[in-house]
């Protein structure tokens, strides 16, 4: 008897919409990472990109526990001396709340050749509107 493995070409990709209103960042990111990898499917194969697409709406309404809005820092560096820039999570939420969610999900994906294609299937939007209605995404509910 041979073991069956899923192939990337044979994947049946579904689209999911996740509303981030009132959800904790880490819990949200783990659910999204599992959908992107396909771990929620019975045909999960670690070396194949068989997961679905995820559209996250209301990214500006996420929550963090404790004092993480003020203590969690995001860094940028242009590789020139003295160019290290840092922003707190609260400053990032005001300007680029999509970045907070995509970075949290990126940190929960494996560091390999698949991770670039996996993170490309994540679409994050600040408001409740998104341009992916033609794909007929299903609502994915995360319990608090």
Mean pLDDT of 9-13: 88
* Average pLDDT, rounded, for the chain: 94
Backbone angles phi, psi at 109, to 5 degrees: -90, 155
State the pLDDT at residue 3. 85
DSSP code string of 77-121: --SSTT--EEEEHHHHHHHHHHHHHHHHHHHHS-SSTTHHHHHTT
Pair of tokens at residue 79: 């590789």
Mean pLDDT of 88-110: 95
pLDDT in tens, 66-79: 999 999 999 999 99
CATH of 13-64+97-139 given 3.90.1180.10, 3.10.20.30, 3.90.79.10, 3.40.30.10: 3.90.1180.10
Q: Is the pLDDT of residue 110 over 80?
A: yes
pLDDT in tens, 44-73: 999 999 899 999 999 999 999 999 999 999
Q: Is the pLDDT of residue 144 over 80?
A: no
CB neighbours of 139 closer than 8 A, spacing ≥ 6? Answer: 16, 17, 19
State the pLDDT at residue 2. 87
pTM score above 0.85: yes
Q: Is the pLDDT of residue 8 over 90?
A: no
């Amino acid at each position: 008897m041979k073991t069956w493995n899923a192939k990337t070409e044979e994947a049946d990709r579904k689209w999911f919409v996740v509303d981030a209103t009132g959800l904790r960042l880490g819990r949200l990111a783990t659910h999204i990472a599992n959908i992107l990898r396909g771990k929620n499917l019975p045909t999960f194969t670690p070396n194949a990109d068989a997961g679905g697409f995820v559209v996250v709406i209301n990214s500006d309404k996420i929550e963090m526990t404790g004092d993480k809005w003020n203590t969690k820092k995001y860094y940028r560096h242009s590789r020139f001396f003295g160019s290290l820039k840092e922003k707190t999570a609260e400053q990032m939420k005001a300007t680029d709340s999509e970045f907070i969610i995509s970075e949290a999900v990126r940190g929960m994906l494996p560091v390999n050749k698949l991770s670039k294609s996996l993170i490309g299937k994540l679409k994050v939007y600040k408001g409740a509107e998104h341009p992916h209605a033609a794909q007929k995404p299903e609502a994915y509910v995360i319990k608090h």
